[in-house]
């Protein structure tokens, strides 16, 4: 009867109009004319509508609608003359809705029960009951149950013998339908099983409700017991979880994951709050713009109606009331047609919503299967190994860059893939002029890479560098030191070790001297073709320098760029308890099987 309209002001006008009509009829106790029937179907729709969820109905509106439905039901029951005249029609309308697919609230169901019991005052209703029983045997079950529990005296059923007679007739009809092989009706079988004798009722509903209540109580008790157990042992559970996950949660990889998840959560929450804010502002502005016009329109109509009633009296008033009733009937017809098309629209929307829900369920099921497969095949051992692997900062040599150094150490990285999770290569901040040629020239560099050759500092003002010459120029050295130290501080995941080559190894020694023993960010250092800087400004740093950090020094006896005595001097004078890997090669990173054994043995100490 009433559509779910998302306009609270419109619904308020409907509720007030219905309340005025029902109050006026209840006051005069006159609702129907002599030959009019009570609009029972619309009244049933009103009863069901009050209990339907509708965001545009407030609590006061629902209370007013419920009160109007009660007044209409009382008017129906008190009009005995009209009830006796049209009791057959009323019974035919009420009988099918007595058994509802969806359980109604007790208050709403009581309206229908009182109305159908009132129709049974006419004994001729029994024949109509028998004819209706063929289509709705479930309604007969509900009506008989109602009659068994009804304490009031029904004039149409003055004795229990008459009720048993009706039951016997209903059983006869159901038996004939069940015995017919062409119609295997399950509902009639249920009626026969419920009324095995004339007046014996099997109260299956009470048993089912009792079993449901018992199971619900048991589930609630189990839930309370589990909750109480978790509450009592919550401290021990948290302590155990912290102890088991402490090492993993402190690992750099876990810290990064935690930070990224936290940032994603914060951003998602901000976006959701912003969307809710904009949506709320839009709804408020829309309602604020519409509501004044609706209120003004309602006030205008009410004012004109009061003005009309004030100036019309006598026969003109009666004629106006008749015209008003005709207009109201015409409005009801228009409204019912609108409801019909709205219902079609809602059915169409429900159909496509069901299809979309079905498709969403399919995709969610597939996503769940994928996630379940990933979780089922999750390798905890591999994760544990990755979380314990090392992270190393790499400093390239003179006339190199991070990309070129990474390419040259490809075999070296493959040797240590079970020990080092990540090699981080950075570029020196100073570009080298392409025309320069020094002793540390890398002959394997192609012409395309020379445009991006870099160095950590220069030994002359002409932007050149020679590791074999002692000078007083260290142009760009301080900038490189500040650049590397700032890069280390900006890392969210700390480095475990430092890998440096040639001029990068010389810079690494001076960096470690500046950090000192207490503030050093590394656990170990690997220097390849390292040497002491020849600049006069750096010599004071080497005085009495003993770096107490696990170190591995790779020295090539055939190295022509950095002769091996320069590397030996760096180890003997600046490092304490250093390990040395000597090879017969030149100025490169060795990756032989003997070198691999020394590398892995050195790194095993830090896993």
Catalytic center residues:
502, 559, 587
Helices and strands (H and E) in the chain: how many? 22, 8
User: Is 606 in contact with 551 (CB distance < 8 Å)?
Assistant: no
Q: What is the greatest pairwise CA distance in the chain? A: 130
The number of beta carbons lying within 10 Å of the beta carbon of residue 564 is 15
| Terminal alpha carbon distance of the chain | 76
Q: What's CA 136's distance to the chain center, in Å? A: 45
What's the sign of the alpha-carbon dihedral 532, 533, 535, 540?
A: negative
User: Is 415 in contact with 432 (CB distance < 8 Å)?
Assistant: no
State the alpha helices, DSSP H only, in 312-409: 315-376, 380-388, 402-408
> What are 89's two structure tokens?
């029609």
Partners of 553 in beta bridges: 527, 580
Pairwise CA distance, residues 370 & 63, whole Å:
50
Residues with Cβ within 8 Å of 67's Cβ and at least 6 positions away in sequence, in order, are 19, 22
CA neighbours closer than 13 Å in the CB half-sphere of residue 127: 5
List strands edge to edge, sheet with 579-583. Answer: 420-426, 390-395, 497-501, 524-528, 551-556, 579-583
> What are 192's two structure tokens?
């026969």
> What does the buried/exposed string (b/e) look like for 253-291 if buried means 16 or more CB atoms within 10 Å of the residue's CB?
beeeeeeeeeeeeeeeeeeeeeeeeeeeeeeeeeeeeee
Q: Which of 466, 463, 446 lies closest to 454, judged by CA? A: 463
């Amino acid at each position: 009867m009433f559509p779910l309209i998302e306009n609270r002001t419109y619904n308020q006008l409907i509720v007030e109009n219905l309340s005025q009509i029902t109050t006026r009829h209840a006051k005069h106790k006159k609702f129907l004319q002599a030959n009019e029937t009570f609009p029972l179907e619309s009244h049933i729709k009103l009863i069901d509508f009050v209990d339907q969820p509708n965001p545009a109905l407030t609590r006061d509106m629902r209370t007013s609608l419920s009160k109007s439905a009660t007044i209409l039901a009382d008017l129906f029951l008190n009009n005995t003359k009209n009830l006796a005249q049209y009791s057959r029609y009323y019974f035919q309308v009420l009988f099918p809705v007595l058994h509802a697919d969806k359980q109604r609230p007790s208050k709403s169901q009581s309206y229908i029960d009182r109305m159908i019991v009132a129709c049974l005052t006419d004994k001729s209703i029994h024949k109509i009951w028998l004819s209706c029983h063929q289509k709705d045997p479930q309604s007969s079950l509900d009506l008989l149950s109602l009659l068994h529990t009804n304490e009031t005296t029904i004039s149409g059923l003055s004795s229990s013998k008459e009720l048993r007679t009706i039951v016997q007739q209903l059983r006869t009809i159901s038996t004939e339908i069940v015995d017919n092989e062409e119609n295997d009706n399950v509902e009639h079988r249920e009626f026969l099983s419920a009324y095995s004798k004339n007046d014996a009722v099997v109260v299956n509903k009470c048993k089912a409700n009792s079993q449901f209540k018992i199971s619900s109580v048991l589930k609630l008790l189990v839930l309370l017991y589990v909750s109480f157990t978790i509450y009592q042992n919550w401290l021990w559970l948290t302590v155990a979880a912290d102890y088991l996950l402490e090492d993993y949660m402190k690992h750099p990889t876990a810290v990064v994951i935690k930070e990224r998840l936290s940032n994603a959560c914060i951003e998602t929450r901000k976006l959701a709050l912003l969307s809710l804010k904009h949506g709320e502002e839009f709804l408020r502005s829309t309602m604020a713009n519409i509501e004044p016009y609706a209120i003004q329109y309602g006030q205008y109509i009410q004012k004109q109606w009061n003005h009309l009633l004030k100036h019309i009296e006598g026969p003109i008033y009666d004629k106006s009331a008749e015209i008003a009733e005709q207009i109201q009937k015409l409005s009801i017809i228009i409204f019912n047609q609108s409801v019909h098309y709205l219902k079609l629209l809602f059915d169409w929307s429900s159909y496509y919503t069901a299809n979309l829900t079905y498709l969403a369920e399919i995709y969610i099921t597939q996503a769940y299967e994928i996630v379940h497969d990933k979780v089922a095949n999750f390798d905890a051992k591999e994760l544990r190994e990755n979380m314990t692997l090392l992270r190393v900062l790499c400093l390239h040599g003179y006339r190199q860059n991070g990309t070129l150094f990474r390419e040259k150490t490809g075999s070296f990285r493959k040797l240590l893939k079970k020990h080092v999770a990540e090699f981080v290569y950075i570029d020196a901040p100073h570009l080298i002029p392409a025309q320069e040629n020094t002793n540390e020239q890398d002959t394997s560099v192609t012409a395309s890479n020379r445009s991006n050759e870099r160095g950590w500092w220069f030994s002359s003002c002409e932007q050149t560098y020679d590791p074999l010459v002692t000078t007083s120029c260290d142009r760009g050295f301080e900038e490189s030191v500040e650049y590397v130290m700032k890069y280390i501080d900006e890392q969210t995941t700390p480095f475990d070790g430092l890998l440096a080559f040639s001029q990068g190894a010389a810079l690494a020694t001076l960096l470690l001297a500046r950090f000192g023993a207490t503030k050093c960010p590394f656990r170990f250092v690997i220097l390849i073709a390292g040497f002491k800087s020849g600049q006069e400004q750096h010599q004071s740093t080497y005085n009495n320098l003993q770096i107490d950090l696990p170190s591995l020094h790779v020295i090539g006896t055939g190295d022509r760029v950095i002769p091996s005595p320069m590397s030996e001097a760096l180890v003997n004078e600046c490092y304490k308890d250093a390990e040395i890997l000597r090879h017969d090669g030149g100025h490169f990173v060795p990756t032989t099987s003997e070198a691999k054994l020394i590398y892995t043995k050195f790194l095993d100490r830090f896993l």
